[in-house]
């Protein structure tokens, strides 16, 4: 399975975007765990959607509801 999945590196740009998202959501009283923040920021950075049951943790993304 690992051979068929592209692993995206965590870049400084993605980390900064995750921090921005965290700050915006914290200001609204929403806490998002770090792994979800990194998934969110990476998907936003790459222009990807996320398939999830937890839509709340992925603000600003095109989310495919499972």
**How do residues 34-66 score in pLDDT, each as one tens digit?**
999 999 999 999 999 888 888 877 877 777 776
Residue 52: both structure tokens together: 């999830």
Contact assessment for residue 49 and residue 23, using Cβ atoms and an 8 Å cutoff:
no
Question: In the prediction, which pLDDT does 3 show?
Answer: 81
User: Any idea which architecture 2-65 has in CATH?
Assistant: 3-Layer(aba) Sandwich (3.40)
Give the bridge partners for 4, in sequence order.
Answer: none
pLDDT band at 1 (very low <50, low <70, confident <90, very high): low
Distance CA 32, CA 59 (A): 10
Query: Which helix (DSSP H) or strand (DSSP E) does residue 51 occupy?
Result: strand 50-52
Share of the chain above pLDDT 90, in %: 59
User: pTM for this one?
Assistant: 0.82
Domain boundaries, the chain: 2-65
């Amino acid at each position: 399975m690992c051979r068929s999945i592209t692993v995206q590196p965590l870049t400084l740009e993605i980390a900064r975007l995750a921090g921005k998202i965290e700050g915006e959501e914290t200001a609204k009283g929403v806490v998002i765990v770090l792994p979800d923040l990194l998934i969110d920021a990476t998907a936003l950075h790459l222009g990807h959607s996320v398939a999830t049951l937890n839509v709340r943790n992925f603000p600003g993304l095109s989310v495919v509801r499972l």
